[in-house]
């Protein structure tokens, strides 16, 4: 068993509903969900002319290898309406592996920890809520420190789905 931190994101359609369905599918297909952050509404990073995202972070306990986990995540994305399109463009659902245990790996398909984790407030803020003291296995700093040092100016706000509907 390994513990992997994941980031879920959606910026198309009923964003909250995609995230909820993804959480169900993850629990059914990938392992045990040990922790879940709040939902955040975040300004689009990378390609700015697209709708705001909802993002949340999860801790998943899984017996899948990183490669097998990635395949399952892509299956879930497809089942929930994701069509591969533009890099950093809009999507109904994105599930990214942020970290996998303390592993550091870089293959054609997979970079762990996620290449941009420390550069993205939309990933660091939800992760810091559930794992402030987790030490980034490559940068050797805690998530709380990486968030404090992050220069990403894009907005990240707690999302109150009840009020927003």
Count of C-beta atoms within a 10 Å radius of residue 44: 18
- Give the active site residue among 14, 83, 94, 152: 94
Is 91 an active-site residue? yes
Is 94 an active-site residue? yes
Measured distance between the N- and C-terminal CA atoms of the chain, rounded to whole angstroms: 38
Min dist CB 132 to Mg ion, Å, is 22
Q: Does 94 bind ligand PH2 (CB under 6 A)?
A: yes
* Helices (H), ranges, 6-120: 15-29, 66-79
Where does residue 28 rank: exposed (0-12), middle (13-18), buried (19+ CB within 10 A)?
A: exposed
Paired residues of 100 in beta bridges = 4
Phi-psi region of 88 (alpha: psi -120 to 50; beta: other; left: phi over 0): left
Candidate residues 37, 55, 92, 145; the one interacting with ligand PH2 per rule CB under 6 A:
55
Considering the complex, state which of residue 63 and residue 109 has its C-beta at the smaller distance from ligand PH2.
109
Is 120 an active-site residue? no
Q: Does 42 bind ligand PH2 (CB under 6 A)?
A: yes
Pick one of ligand PH2, Mg ion, none as the site partner of residue 53 (Cβ within 5 to 8 A by kind). ligand PH2
CA dihedral 8, 94, 115, 55 (to 10 degrees): -30
Q: Return the residues of window 103-122 that contact ligand PH2 according to CB under 6 A.
A: 122
Residue 117 DSSP code:
G
Q: Does 9 bind ligand PH2 (CB under 6 A)?
A: yes
Cβ-proximal residue to ligand PH2, closest one? 9
Considering the complex, state which of residue 44 and residue 66 has its C-beta at the smaller distance from ligand PH2.
44
Contact 52, 39 (CB under 8 A): no
Is 121 an active-site residue? no
Query: Catalytic amino acids?
Result: 82, 91, 94, 96
The binding site for ligand PH2 (CB under 6 A) comprises 9, 42-46, 53, 55, 88, 94, 122
């Amino acid at each position: 068993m390994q513990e992997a931190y994941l980031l879920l994101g959606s910026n198309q359609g009923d964003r909250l509903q995609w995230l909820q369905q993804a959480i169900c599918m993850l629990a059914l297909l990938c392992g045990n969900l040990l922790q879940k952050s709040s939902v955040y509404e975040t300004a689009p990073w990378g390609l700015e002319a697209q709708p705001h995202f909802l993002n949340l972070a999860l801790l998943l306990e899984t017996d899948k290898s990183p490669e097998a986990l990635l395949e399952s995540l892509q299956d879930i994305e497809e089942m929930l309406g994701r069509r591969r399109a533009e890099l950093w463009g809009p999507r109904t659902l994105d599930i990214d592996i942020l970290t996998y245990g303390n592993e550091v790996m870089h293959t054609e398909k997979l970079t762990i920890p996620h290449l941009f984790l420390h550069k993205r407030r939309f990933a660091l803020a939800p992760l810091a809520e559930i794992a402030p003291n987790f030490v980034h296995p490559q940068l050797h700093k805690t998530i709380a420190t990486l968030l404090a040092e992050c220069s990403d100016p894009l907005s990240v706000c707690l999302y109150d789905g009840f009020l927003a509907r």
